[in-house]
Amino acid sequence: MRGLAVLAVTPVLAGLLSTSVASADGSSGDPIAVGSGGGVATVDADATRIGLEVLAAGGTAADAAVAAAAALGVTEPYSAGIGGGGFFVHYDAETGEVSTLDGRETAPAAMEPDSFVDPATGEALEFDRAVTSGLSVGVPGTPATWTAALERWGTLDLGEALAPAEQLAREGFAVDEEFRGQTQINEERFRAFPATADLFLPDGALPEVGSVFTNPDLADTYAELGHQGVDWLYEGELAGEIAATAADPPVDPAATIPVAPGLMTTDDLAAYEVVEREPTHVDYRGVDVYGMGPPSSGGSTVGEALNILEQFELSAKDPVQALHLYLEASRFAYADRNRYLGDPDFVDVPLEALLSDEFAAQRACLIDPDKAAVSPVPAGDPAADDVCATAPSGGADHEGPSTTHLVAADRWGDVVSYTLTIEQTGGSGITVPGRGFLLNNELTDFDFTPPPPGEPLPANAPAGGKRPRSSMAPTIVLADGEPLLALGSPGGSTIITTVLQVLVNRLDLGLSLPEAVAAPRMSQRNTEDTIAEPAFLDSELRTALEGYGHSFVPAPSTFGPQPEIGAVAALEFLDDGRVAYVAEPERRGGGSAMALDK
């Protein structure tokens, strides 16, 4: 199936493409590049350039991905960095194997199901208070992920992979509207932490657009990490600093924001391990879709929704019907996600059943091709034999909209799809003093409120050593055993619908990959209303889908004045042996794709 036919785009769909696709010359800042010798796509031109330079010097896709990710820790410090975690999906061209690394953050051993309950009130902490706290900080997994990926699939050692990002941190990068805007929305809480304010509010003010932002502390941290190795962070001096900062956040005495202490110890850091997990896998209309398994819900929920959609005919000739079914498949798959997904080392996740064709048929039988269901719909029962069986729904989620994603491929055909994060934009807001990076707030992804006495804990309840449920969905698609697509996105719980919609746009509606990425998005996550971007809200499709009973509201304005959902980086292997690398043309300020020729 390599070389998907690009069907004629209907006038309605064509009108929805809010931005024209750029020329594929691969220059800095372009969102599209095509080449035969490897390439990279990220949200940032500096990170993409660094990844490409690694490929040009003979590095592998894994080498390039780690180097680019380290650069994103410099230029996208509010979305990713060594204080966070992520999921790394890799295709090995020599073996044909898709592998995944779980570098998700882990709860300290002292965490309990009621750790997010305020003892003074008996109620769960307000979300914002939980975010900006030591209590929300999980043991970082990103540095261990980089080391594991390089040892398994790379040619560089950690120091070599970090060197370009170290230089970038020392020399600095130009502040744009996006970086200033993200700093501004965090300004109040950043001022509560002297180390954070000193770093991100130079001279006590927001960084000016066009100024050069340097981070010599992070440069020194990268240099030392490269020299001493990852044990320095998990068992050495830096481990002690991370644990102390999370356990007793250094707060400005004049700050009015209450900051709860954390539970992390050096033992928690020393115990951290990257876990190689089996990828999720579904066959969708003749291609093989691989994703990240639990504790991420990305692979399972994308996979279940695709299985549900496969019960129906989707056609570019009827995009309204196709998008109605996309929304309904998302709605029902999300009900199951919220009910069953959690850390598989702590809960029994019925993954095989959730991804079975039988269960997809059970869920599809509840979908009316001509009418939207009313949310919240109940979860399905994968163990039931009854057609259309249901079960109680699970809890809601609090995932932050930040995070970042990159894709890379090398001259040998290896592919990486990698999503990494520190959770909210700005993470916990807490900087490790003198080290130049923010700590995550990933533990707010747990369900905060324990159930009433006598009722079982939800799958995503907090526990010591447990990894919170995630929506990150780094994805690789194979056709006849060869790579076809790779993609992923930031966006909290909208990551799943973003990846799913791009796949539907490409595989079912016949859009080219750049068009599939640029097309306006909507996200239904088993809620009463579906959030959507302005270009969709102003379109004929909105009116047509409202005729099915769908209700739409604007997506939040997270990173700038325009509401937006996700920020995709993707690639596609073409018939002529080249690969197209695609980043966002506008979202998050526009991404960057670059490619080499052999």
Strands (E), 269-337: 275-277, 280-284, 287-291
Whether 403 sits among the annotated catalytic residues: the reply is yes
Rounded Cα distance, 231 and 144, in Å: 9
- The closest of 373, 368, 333 to 354, measured between CA atoms, is 333
In SS3 terms, 89-118 reads as EEEECCCCEEEEEEECCECCCCCCCCCCEC
- The closest of 292, 326, 300 to 312, measured between CA atoms, is 326
Rounded Cα distance, 43 and 477, in Å: 21
3-class state of residue 184 by DSSP:
helix
Rounded Cα distance, 163 and 389, in Å: 55
Contact assessment for residue 67 and residue 161, using Cβ atoms and an 8 Å cutoff: yes
**Adjacent-strand bridge partners of 583:** 569
Q: How far apart, in Å, do the first and last CA atoms of the chain sit?
A: 24
- The closest of 594, 343, 325 to 457, measured between CA atoms, is 343
Longest distance between any two alpha carbons in the chain, whole Å: 65
Burial category of 127 from C-beta neighbours within 10 Å (exposed 0-12, middle 13-18, buried 19 and up): middle
3-class state of residue 88 by DSSP:
strand
3-class state of residue 573 by DSSP:
strand
Element (H, E) at 482: strand 482-488
Rounded Cα distance, 595 and 48, in Å: 9
Burial category of 227 from C-beta neighbours within 10 Å (exposed 0-12, middle 13-18, buried 19 and up): exposed
Strands (E), 297-414: 379-380, 390-391, 404-410
Neighbouring CB atoms inside 10 A of 118's CB total 14
Choice among 106, 145, 245, 403 that is catalytic: 403
Strands (E), 182-309: 212-213, 275-277, 280-284, 287-291
Structure letter (DSSP) for residue 283: E
Q: Kind of pairing, strands 530-532 and 552-554?
A: parallel
The dihedral over CA atoms of 437, 489, 356, 445, expressed in degrees to the nearest 10, equals 40
Query: Whose structure tokens read 């830096």?
Result: 238
Element (H, E) at 362: helix 357-364
The dihedral over CA atoms of 409, 88, 28, 160, expressed in degrees to the nearest 10, equals -90
With DSSP H G I counted as helix, E B as strand and the rest as coil, what are the percentages for the chain, rounded to 5? 35, 15, 50
Catalytic (active-site) positions: 403
